[in-house]
Amino acid sequence: CNQFVLNNTFTSPQGVGNRGMIMSGGFEVHGGPAVVMWNVIDGFDVGINVCSAVAQMASGSASGGLLIEHNTMTHVGTGVELYAWQGAALHNVTITSNNLTIDYDYWSRFYLYQAGIATDQYDGWCDNIQVTKNTIRFQASAKPATTPFWTGGVVLGTHQGLIINCLAADNVVVWQ
């Protein structure tokens, strides 16, 4: 591995922080291989952004070998977001045994979607993605029964690009 993110705590005032901006991510890993374990993330739009190598630097190349395990995220809009840049692949990613709590009411004021774990391609592709044994909780909502553009526990979909050889199994998704 050439990237380790282990046993850290990332916190932010939820949303509009002291600098007057929305805190967008706890942290981001690019390329891989990487191990991301035992982190605590609180109050960000996205807990962990997982990105393929930047397309301009790795056109047609593959990034992967990422393990995201045993992390705890609270008051987030999306727990883990997989992002494959144009012309690059993100492959061999395992997201397992994480505890995610999505704050639907807060983040729906700023964004059209909230998800526990989601893909978001920009003409790249994802291959061999395994999402297993995660617990995803949507906090109780005080809002009327309306939903944003989309909301989901595990969303393995794409607007552009390609997603192949993916597994989502043994996850628990609860709307409280």
Evaluate the omega torsion of the peptide bond into residue 33 and state whether it is cis, within 30 degrees of 0.
yes
Q: Which helix (H) or strand (E) holds 57?
A: helix 55-58
The strand pairing partners of 82, in sequence order, are: 50, 119
* Of residues 133 and 86, more confidently modeled: 133
Average pLDDT over residues 80-92: 84
Give the model's pLDDT for residue 63: 74
The strand pairing partners of 91, in sequence order, are: 64, 127
Distance separating alpha carbons of residues 86 and 121, to the nearest angstrom: 8
Q: What is the pLDDT of residues 23-48, one digit of tens each?
A: 678 888 888 889 999 999 998 888 99
Query: Is residue 124 scored above 80 in pLDDT?
Result: no
Distance separating alpha carbons of residues 5 and 3, to the nearest angstrom: 7
Q: Is 73 left (phi over 0), alpha (psi -120 to 50) or beta?
A: beta
Beta sheet of 40-42, edge-to-edge order: 9-11, 40-42, 72-76, 99-102, 135-138, 172-175
Query: Is residue 144 scored above 70 in pLDDT?
Result: no
Instruction: Report the candidate in 86, 87, 78, 81 with the shortest Cα–Cα distance to residue 66.
Output: 81
Give the model's pLDDT for residue 48: 94
Query: Is residue 19 scored above 70 in pLDDT?
Result: no
